[in-house]
A and B are shown apart, each in its own frame.
Chain A
Amino acid sequence: DAKTTQPPSMDCAEGRAANLPCNHSTISGNEYVYWYRQIHSQGPQYIIHGLKNNETNEMASLIITEDRKSSTLILPHATLRDTAVYYCIVKTDGSARQLTFGSGTQLTVLP
């Protein structure tokens, strides 16, 4: 599975959009991009995933560049409850074997 690179931390003002970047320059054609988040002392929460098209659900939007070497998770109106560590994971099959969580991005939403 391809390796991902994320900034270690980011701040965002409450009510503003949070844009979390992820670099996955070695991604291959059959690998999906998944985003999870983990709030302290809780299990990881699945947010969204995509292959090459942009995706949107009730939680977030995922923008994948045309060359698929990077992506951005967008939380359109961040709240204090969105403060968490956000993980970008690249994998061929989201259900098979294990997910490899890197160190992620600590997003802090400020009041």
Chain B
Amino acid sequence: DGGITQSPKYLFRKEGQNVTLSCEQNLNHDAMYWYRQDPGQGLRLIYYSQIVNDFQKGDIAEGYSVSREKKESFPLTVTSAQKNPTAFYLCASSIPGRGNQPQHFGDGTRLSIL
């Protein structure tokens, strides 16, 4: 089945440590996105990528970094500079430039601080 796989489902970070969240899709979508969701709130965009080797900052990019070396993969690194990283992280993908095509989401990674 085609879809978006995020791993791990749960992740714990120590103070001062960088952690990387994985996102893989086999939908052949060009565009991929990372969102952050805090309890009881909507989604906020961290980074997005419309094509391989290119990505743009979203609304809350500080303390995060991404790479897009392959079409299928869009890993997110939460750096030690992100002072409040505890949240639910969601990856999405879509077909850009096709007018009304929806985004499809993975099942998320829940990050907590030890």
Q: Which A residues lie at the B interface, using CB under 8 A? A: 32, 34, 36, 41-46, 49, 51, 87, 93-104
- B residues in contact with A93, CB < 8 Å: 99-100
- Do B90 and A43 touch (CB < 8 A)? yes
Q: Which B residues lie at the A interface, using CB under 8 A? A: 4, 6, 31, 33, 35, 41-43, 45, 48, 58-59, 88, 90, 92, 94-108, 110
Report whether over half of chain A's contact residues are helix, strand or loop; otherwise say mixed: loop
- Do B108 and A42 touch (CB < 8 A)? yes
Q: Of the candidates A43, A46, A98, which one forms a contact with B102 in the assembled complex, judged by CB atoms under 8 Å apart?
A: A46
Chain A, Cβ-Cβ closest to B33: A98
- Do B104 and A98 touch (CB < 8 A)? no
Complex CA distance for A86 and B67, rounded to whole angstroms = 31
